[in-house]
Structure 1
Amino acid sequence: MQELILLRHAEAAPQGKDGKDDRERKLTEHGRNEARAAGEWLASHHVRYDRVLCSPSERTKETAALALGQVEPEYVDGIYDATVGDLFELLDQQQGAEHVVLVGHNPGIEQLVAFLVEGRSEDYRGMPPGALARLTFPHGPLEPGRAKLETFWSPPN
């Protein structure tokens, strides 16, 4: 893997008291605008990707569709509610892909950034809804603490 984009889902409607599963929460209008803004940023920076891994929740599906366009993601159940170890293991299985996008949730996404860049997951700054981190691996394969954080972007309020 040469490049990894970690994209947190955009702003979603709050958990209702209607008994629906958390996975069914949809993006708000503000969230849809955040996801489109992420897509505009990716396009303006000519970011390429040959594999998209996405949580199967409604809010991540919507974020991926709005930010990445017509790309058909691979929906991976394990991304929802994943730990850093789960996400790292999933990425480690992507040996054939050079440019990967992972669309998921906090705290796993923000902790994964710290783990890949700093080598530890307890020290992270947070990732607001719709934010993305662009990581490269200039010093070899996917390993904790070996990624370079090229860009940290978050949508305008």
Structure 2
Amino acid sequence: MTDRYRTLLLLRHAKSDYPTGVPDHERPLAPRGEREAKLAGDWLRAHAPAVNAVLCSTATRTRETLARTRIDAPVNFVDRLYDATPGAVIEEINSVESRFGPDVGTLLVIGHEPAMSSLALGLATADGSNTTAAERISTKFPTSAIAVLRTGEPWHQLGLSGAALVGFHVPR
């Protein structure tokens, strides 16, 4: 990796549907979610560094979100990201080098609320973070929203207050 900074992209799954009798883990995307996931992928390709690796919840709606983004990078589907705490997500991020190797400069994590907003705010340092983005995340982290964080830490050392929140985008 030539850049000493790493980029962490936290993507909440796109809008899901609520079919009768379907367990929460198996809920698919709604038509609006299908459109917004594509928009999220378009935004990532236009505005973020190329994604080198993806950690994705095993829930149907997160898998469908990833597919609709058309992000082409190695993926690990992680059961633990479904109904995860921010600490559990950090532990999964800390394992990136062992999962994907040392050259991951940009990591995409696709998960759920409330973990995505809590994680974005918990990782963000007071210095160097975009306060407007933090305020927006504190108010709401909608479906398909993307928090962008930068860190100088290796993935295995990333912890609370270890990154700068540099952006927040809601594709619509």
Q: Give the aligned partner of residue 32 of structure 1.
A: 34
Q: Give the aligned partner of residue 148 of structure 1.
A: 164
Higher mean alpha-carbon deviation, 63-72 vs 42-51, is at: 63-72
Offset of residue 146 of structure 1:
2.6
1:13 to 3, 10, 17: 17
The 1:69–1:2 alpha-carbon spacing in structure 2 relative to 1, beyond 3 Å, is: closer
CA-atom RMSD in angstroms: 2.0
Q: 1:46: how far off?
A: 4.8
SS of 1:3's partner is strand
**1:6 & 1:61 partners in 2: Cα distance?**
14
Say whether the 8 Å CA contact 1:110–1:125 is kept in structure 2.
Answer: no
Kindly indicate whether the alpha-carbon contact (under 8 Å) linking 1:138 and 1:147 is maintained by their aligned counterparts in 2: yes
Q: Which residue in 1 is equivalent to 2:138?
A: 124
Unpaired runs of 5+ in structure 2? 127-136
CA distance in 2, matches of 1:63, 1:81: 17
Larger mean CA deviation between 62-71 and 50-59 belongs to 62-71
Identity of aligned residues (%): 32
CA deviation digits over 1:100-148, x for unaligned, max 9?
10000000111100110058xxx93331000001110147752211311
The equivalent residue for 1:134 is 148
Compute the TM-score of the two structures, normalised by the length of structure 2. 0.80
**Corresponding residue number in structure 2 for 1:105:** 112
Q: Which amino acid in structure 2 is aligned with residue 133 of structure 1?
A: A
Question: Deviations 1:78-100 (Å, cap 9, x if unpaired)?
Answer: 00000011001111111332211
Give secondary structure in 2 for the equivalent of 1:124: helix
**What is aligned with 1:43?**
45
Task: Give the match's secondary structure for 2:8.
Answer: strand
Equivalent position SS for 1:115: helix
- In structure 2, the partner of 1:92 is 94
Provide TM-score, normalisation by structure 1. Answer: 0.87
Aligned-pair CA distance for 1:44: 1.2
4+ runs deviating over 6 angstroms = none
Paired residues in the alignment total 151
Distance 1:22 1:133 in 2: 24
Residue 4 (1) aligns with residue 8 (2): yes
1:71 is displaced (CA, Å) by 3.6
- Structure 1 unpaired stretches of 5+: none
